[in-house]
A and B are shown apart, each in its own frame.
Chain A
Amino acid sequence: MTRARLVAWHVFKESVRDRVLFAIAGFALVLVAASVLIGQITAGQDVKIIKDIGLATLELSGVLMAVFIGVGLVSREIERRSIYSVLAKPVHRWEFVVGKYAGLVGTIVLNLVLMTVALFLLLAWLEGKMPDPGLLKGVVLILAELALLTAVALFFSTFSSSGILSAGLTLGVFVVGLFSEDLRGFSGIVSSPVLASAVRAIGVVVPAFSAFDIKADVVNGRPPVPWAYVAMTVLYACFYVSALVGGAVAVFSRREFK
């Protein structure tokens, strides 16, 4: 695992020095600042709006990082041919893939922690008291969602040599996953059994990203979101992450480098 840790640290360092990250962080700051302004012109709703926009910004900046840095995790190494030197070293391919994944998730965690701290400080200043810790349930599920989305991006990154195609596929899976419940329901109203089965299969195979979206519930405080739901959803993410990273390892282990 030492080598996987080194690869992870390398990805973390590269991501932190990447201009894309600064752009995303800048964008997030602008959104948070905008939420304060919007809150001031909305009578009595300022704290709620800041919570809404704050959580949405956490999620959106994480999605941008997971997709646009994630799709390049492996394919960029292949494109710039640095992969030749790395894989000629005594490194197992699974160590490389797992390290790449862990490094980007680490970067996303850091980003999420810093932005959550900033959001809580802002809320504490506006409310004059500690913000509702229930918001953290939303943050935990955003993190689980981003870890899952990073695994999707990594999976596509291992066999597609085009960053644009990988990003398109990853975003496609994300969007379909946001509507997975609708897809399952849609299968009940189509007349063709083949189409119904196909739609149901997509709804089952594609991870249900909609399950992670509890932002409105934690902002309003009702209906209350039990910690058991959070834990089960995190477990659900872990299952998909294991399958996707395992798939990425399997694909990458068979890959040749011309």
Chain B
Amino acid sequence: MSVVLRLDHLTKDFETGVLGRRRQRALDDVSFELVRGEVFGLLGPNGAGKTTTLKLIAGLLRPTAGRVSVFGSAPGDRAARAALGFLPEQPVFYDHLTAEELLVYFAGLCGISGVDRAQRAASVLDEVGLGAARRQPMRQYSRGMLQRVGLAQALIHQPALVILDEPMSGLDPIGRREVRELVLRLRDDGRTVLFSSHILSDAETLCSRVAILARGRLVASGGIGDLTAGRAGRWEIVAASLSPAAAAGLQTQAARVTRIAHGRYSFELREGDGPEPFIAAVAASGGSLVSAVSTRATLEDVFVERVS
């Protein structure tokens, strides 16, 4: 598999304070690589260094140490940027332009010839669901519509590597589903997608591999299956007809208990505990079993464990 993007021991310090004499480390010795055709998720809580990483890849920041290689070139090279499409976080554009005018302008900056610019702009606006509003000034756009324009401009030159910083931000549930479908279409076209998110369900649905950042450090990376493998599942038991005293008694055998309704409780057992003794305890307390479901370890479990 050909490597599309490689980060080698990437470190970034920002100068702060009077005369920039203090340094704040935003990214510390981060390395990972992306291969052609994969969807890769960069995860982490706010302030983890996700946006800094993406800006270093897009050539908007320079590394303090380490290096970034995009198709073998440095991010500042024109060849690297011609192969890369970038959606910044919460993009803002020019109020006086329509989405169509903006995309025709950006298509020109990407070297697309005059006659093809309008055609390409129309096609990509249709792709992100903005075809009908393409001649409306962007000052009238909602947050979600601007996010779609941001996606469209990242795709205008059909880049082989697409970098999306929080692509679901500002989108309603339908918009989020459309973006998920778009990312999968890009993958099916053989393009590589790197996106940052703190919405773990999106990463779990879309990504073949993820990297988790916390406080500027890479705390986990790999396939989602690999990261969650080897972790015992948990059992979730729902029981009814329990008195508050009986529920309190059962709580000592569970990791977590949630009251659903009068007499009905959900118990999450500890990792590795089997369900049988607990079901027997429910029956002995005068309760009845409603359901017993085994839940496998999720990316959220990995995320919470590594980040905290």
Contact = CB atoms under 8 A, between A and B. Distances in A.
B62 A90 contact: no
B78 interface: yes
B93 A90 contact: no
B78 A17 contact: no
**Contact-size category for A:** 20 to 34
Contacts of A7: 109
A82 B92 contact: yes
Interface stretch (B83-91, B215-223, B271-279): B83-91
Given A81-B88, A85-B153, A6 B109 contact: yes
Contacts, number: 77
Contact of B59 (A13, A85, A87, A258): A87
Contacts of A18: 96
Given A14-B96, A18-B96, A82-B93, A88 B108 contact: no
A86 B109 contact: yes
Contacts of A81: 88, 90-92
Contacts of B93: 82, 85
A172 to B, nearest CB: 23
Contact of A88 (B14, B86, B90, B97): B86
Nearest to A257: B60
B307 interface: no
B55 interface: yes
Contacts of A14: 94, 96-97
Given A10-B105, A85-B153, A90-B111, A256 B88 contact: no
A3 B62 CA distance: 23
B108 A3 contact: yes
A87 B88 CA distance: 11
B214 interface: no
Interface string A78-100: 00111011111111100000000
Interface string A228-258: 0000000000000000000000000000111
A84 B60 contact: yes
A2 B110 CA distance: 10
18 contacts: A2-B108, A3-B108, A81-B88, A81-B91, A84-B88, A84-B91, A85-B86, A85-B106, A85-B154, A86-B106, A87-B58, A88-B84, A88-B85, A88-B88, A89-B106, A90-B78, A256-B62, A258-B14
Interface of B: 14, 55, 58-62, 78-79, 81-82, 84-86, 88, 90-94, 96-97, 105-106, 108-111, 150, 153-154, 157
